[in-house]
Structure 1
Amino acid sequence: MSTLAEQRAGTAPAALTPRLRLVLVVLLAAQFMLAVDFSILNVALPVIGTGLGFPLARLQWIGTAFALCAAGFTLLFGRIADLFGRRRLFLGGLVVLGAASLAGGLAQTPAVLLTARVFQGLATAAVTPAGLSLLTTSFPEGPLRQKALGLNGALMSAGFTTGAILGGLLTDLLSWRWAFFVNVPVAVAVLFVAPAVIAESRPAVRPRLDMPGAVTVTLGLLAVVLGLTQAGEHGWGSPAALLPLAAGVVLLIAFQAIERRVAEPLVPLGVLGRRTVAWGNVAGLIAFVTETSLVFLLTLYLQEVLGFSPLAAGLSFGVLGIGTVVGGALAPRVIGRTSPTTALVAGGTVQAVFTAALLFLGTGHGSLGLLLAATFAGGVGNMLVIVGFMVTATSGLADHEQGLATGLATMTQQIGITLGTPVMSAVATAAMAGTDVLAGLKTAIAVNAALVVLGTLTSAVFLRRRAR
């Protein structure tokens, strides 16, 4: 297979060999499983709450326990992969993921389930950056790598929708426990094949671990996610929410100061200062925060307001999946004929309009037609933004900066996915008046649409200025 040494020597293959195809299948299977894992429990949350005794206001902790670790430890584990080997961390993370999924499926108490979710989050924080690094180092720079990264992005997006559908099927036909168990055979299969086809990958010169930066950014992200979650339970003005949020902001400011001084920073600020990288990642963050959290909100709407079964709710998101496929096919044409910024602005506008249309949802089944049409069109718009974000955030950089740019884009994706549900859950819970679930959901949908508008405006203002 292709190794770093082969690439430096110019002997890397110019076409996909059978061995490289197997490498691609193994890595994409792992990444697809992780994407499914983000959304597979959304549809099952009400059933899990009933089965294990979670009240509605605390259901978000099933997602937040996962999100805290998946978002907070991504940068740290990415650096650990550079230090001790990407394949080693990739395989170790899969072992933890399989064991935690088995424990979650067997859980009989909320404490055991939440513990399993914590370890699933830690495993995701390890496997995602390690897997992407293995993908980029296994394929030579150029068309092969671009194809691999394109397939990775498409499967990640498809995985979120597949998770919602699969979660509904498993919960309705078998049990919510299979939403955990399904990870186990996939993890075992990847662990069986990966050691034989994927070579170890680490830099020729081992970098130093920026421990002060790693600690501050990890604790800062953990504090921010915790504060957002507490806002949903205790109110946005409560000390339980404000103290973690304030601590998170202080820690992230400290992280920025540290990165300016250390010789080998965790995240070089010079690259972050580029307009395309900075504002491209802002657009990507908002795209992932809004669309993934919208699935959670609409899951609650379908089950708690319309009374749908988990299976029916999951199948309803198949229309959103079709929309993302259409958007993924349309995006390269839009970018080729116009520009990445046009894709960002046009996609954001479409997503904002059709997210706002969901404010007209009612308590009758007649609203289902509106929901399906809006999620389809919103999915098309969201995928235009995601592809535009990936192109924008990795363009205009030297070859030796491409790995960092791709890593930052992956971190943006990871944080956006993990933060979205806790943020919107906190907004919806805080806005619920007594048992008026629909009022709380509409408030969160309005905030969701406003965030999309904000992302679209920042792209239009700051990225078009760059184009001129």
Structure 2
Amino acid sequence: MSTVNDVSAARPPAPPERLTRRLGLVLAVLLVSQFMLAVDFSILNVALPVIGKGLGFSLGNLQWIGTAFALAAAGCTLLFGRIADIVGRRRLFLAGLAVLGAASLVGGLAVNPEMLIAARVAQGLATAAVTPAGLSLLTSSFPEGPLREKALGLNGALMSAGFTTGAVLGGVLTELIGWRWSFFINVPVALAVLIVAPTVIAESRGDHRARLDVPGALTVTIGLLSLVYGLTRAGEHGFGDSWALIGLIVGAVLLVAFYVVEKGSPQPLVPVRILRRRTVVFGNLAGLLAFVTETSLVFLMTLYLQKVLGFSALAAGLSFGVLGLGTVAGGVAASRVIGRIGATPTLVAGGLVQAAATAALVGLGDSRSWMWLLLTATFVGGVGNMLVIVGFMVTATSGLPDTEQGMATGIATMSQQVGITMGTPIMSAVVTAHVGTSTDQHVILDGISTAVLVNAALVLAGAVLAALFLRTGKRASAEAGEGS
């Protein structure tokens, strides 16, 4: 009898089944930070022409305001995810927020293009640190199951709502008080999180201090930088551009080299056994396609609203409020849907809903009477997209110990950042290939419709691959146990 009691005493306490006050505070702090990062990604889009005129950017260099941020954010995310496991997730989370606040202040005070670009690079690096650290704090703070699914659902909803809010807020701030406030707005938010976070979030890291896999870190970081650069260049000049091809080829070669390096590393950045897990591979592929398609759909509909229907930038931004409502609704519902049918069926169902809603947008015409279709389809598509994203996050981070959550969320965040970054260049290249230099609104509408079809096909491909290769039920649990 004493043996039974001893064994019972040795067991860890059961994870909470309800959201306690402390977990609620942890969730609030992490959600605010992730929302701020999402806003930061899109807040400058509407303000770019004004910034260029104010600081003297040439037309050709204006895109580097966005590209400098995207390169740093997408290229360094996986590296920082692993660093979070080693040095401590809360420590990296707080350091990244401090850098983000300082960089935002510098960006708002910029007096020349060089100063602004440096601030954007620093903001990108801070995002690459804070996003995976914040997500791993969330997944390690909330046990696997309904609580984690609910937390990831709210996180996904606010993140997607943040992209939409950024577009609207950027237009409002630029028109009312100036573009510099698109930077300054981060400072008080970052400061508030820095004050509150240390009091409610406990430190979290791996069980032992591992050494950083430098060769793996270099190959994957430079590989991702090259890939993102190549895709960005292709979006501007087409896939036939020599620098775009060089970037894509170098990126592909280095990512293959990363896999080879990891196979022979005693302490790999990402163990090969993780890269062989179906939940990691196909979960992240589905997530990557979800971010590629939804963020680029906003770009396509912005072209439609402004170039075909003649909306102002602010009016176009406000039109995406309905999409934001759809993503919030999808994020709130996702945990309940996953609880009923499972993560993989939710991911697949969400992809099918998003694909159908996106395909419906091919029917848009050249008059404002078609706004009902745009608003309805983007709302429904937003719900579907959020089901995919939450399903992907649950799938890609499940079955792994807390010591590897930084790495798992680093991979998931890398998929997110790369997807967000590469979506617009891909769809821009499709539209450009069809439209060329034409300014005729009917030609532009045809180009947008072609890109919308490509977009819907990518969503459908992600759903089909998830249905074919992601296991559910007992088989998934068995595979998770073997992978751990």
TM-score (structure 1 length as normaliser): 0.87
Alignment of 1:50-449 (within 5 A): 51=54, 60-139=63-142, 145-395=148-398, 404-436=407-439, 438=445, 440-449=447-456
Contact 2:282 2:466 in 1 (8 A): yes
Separation (CA, whole Å) in 1 of partners of 2:44 and 2:221 = 25
The one-letter code of the counterpart of 1:446 is L
What corresponds to 1:3 in structure 2? Answer: none
> SS where residue 127 of structure 1 aligns?
helix
Deviations 1:199-220 (A, max 9, x none): 4433341011000000000000
Residue number among 453, 464, 467 corresponding to 1:460 in the alignment: 467
Separation (CA, whole Å) in 2 of partners of 1:377 and 1:268 = 38
> SS where residue 245 of structure 2 aligns?
helix
Stretches of structure 2 lacking an aligned partner (at least 5 in a row): 1-9, 477-484
The one-letter code of the counterpart of 2:211 is R
Deviations 1:142-192 (A, max 9, x none): 665554444323322322222223223323333333222211111121122
Deviations 1:323-379 (A, max 9, x none): 223323444454444443333333222222322333343443233222212211211
Aligned length: 462
Contact 1:169 1:314 in 2 (8 A): no
Measure how far apart 1:68 and its partner are: 0.7
The one-letter code of the counterpart of 1:462 is F
Kindly tell me: are residues 284 and 142 of structure 1, through their superposed partners in 2, closer, same or farther at Cα, counting changes over 3 Å? closer
Measure how far apart 1:55 and its partner are: 6.9
Separation (CA, whole Å) in 1 of partners of 2:113 and 2:78 = 29
Kindly tell me: are residues 427 and 175 of structure 1, through their superposed partners in 2, closer, same or farther at Cα, counting changes over 3 Å? farther
Kindly tell me: are residues 129 and 399 of structure 1, through their superposed partners in 2, closer, same or farther at Cα, counting changes over 3 Å? closer
- Structure 1 stretch displaced more, 94-103 or 57-66: 57-66
Stretches of structure 1 lacking an aligned partner (at least 5 in a row): 1-6
What corresponds to 1:35 in structure 2? Answer: 38
Separation (CA, whole Å) in 1 of partners of 2:14 and 2:386 = 36
- Indicate the RMSD between aligned Cα atoms, in angstroms: 3.1
Alignment of 1:18-33 (within 5 A): 18-33=21-36
Kindly tell me: are residues 101 and 306 of structure 1, through their superposed partners in 2, closer, same or farther at Cα, counting changes over 3 Å? farther
Contact 1:43 1:313 in 2 (8 A): no
Kindly tell me: are residues 66 and 438 of structure 1, through their superposed partners in 2, closer, same or farther at Cα, counting changes over 3 Å? farther
> SS where residue 207 of structure 1 aligns?
coil
Measure how far apart 1:247 and its partner are: 0.5
Kindly tell me: are residues 465 and 183 of structure 1, through their superposed partners in 2, closer, same or farther at Cα, counting changes over 3 Å? closer
Measure how far apart 1:400 and its partner are: 6.6
Kindly tell me: are residues 249 and 356 of structure 1, through their superposed partners in 2, closer, same or farther at Cα, counting changes over 3 Å? same
Separation (CA, whole Å) in 2 of partners of 1:82 and 1:95 = 19
Separation (CA, whole Å) in 1 of partners of 2:119 and 2:304 = 27
Contact 1:58 1:233 in 2 (8 A): no
Deviations 1:15-41 (A, max 9, x none): 655444433322221111111112222
Kindly tell me: are residues 77 and 247 of structure 1, through their superposed partners in 2, closer, same or farther at Cα, counting changes over 3 Å? same
Measure how far apart 1:57 and its partner are: 6.8
TM-score (structure 2 length as normaliser): 0.85
Measure how far apart 1:253 and its partner are: 0.3
Deviations 1:298-328 (A, max 9, x none): 2233234433233322221111012223323
Kindly tell me: are residues 72 and 201 of structure 1, through their superposed partners in 2, closer, same or farther at Cα, counting changes over 3 Å? same
Measure how far apart 1:388 and its partner are: 2.5
Separation (CA, whole Å) in 2 of partners of 1:144 and 1:376 = 26
Separation (CA, whole Å) in 2 of partners of 1:337 and 1:434 = 50
Measure how far apart 1:397 and its partner are: 5.6
**Identity %, equivalent residues:** 70
Kindly tell me: are residues 95 and 402 of structure 1, through their superposed partners in 2, closer, same or farther at Cα, counting changes over 3 Å? closer
Measure how far apart 1:259 and its partner are: 0.8
The one-letter code of the counterpart of 1:63 is G
- Structure 1 stretch displaced more, 52-61 or 249-258: 52-61
Measure how far apart 1:81 and its partner are: 2.4
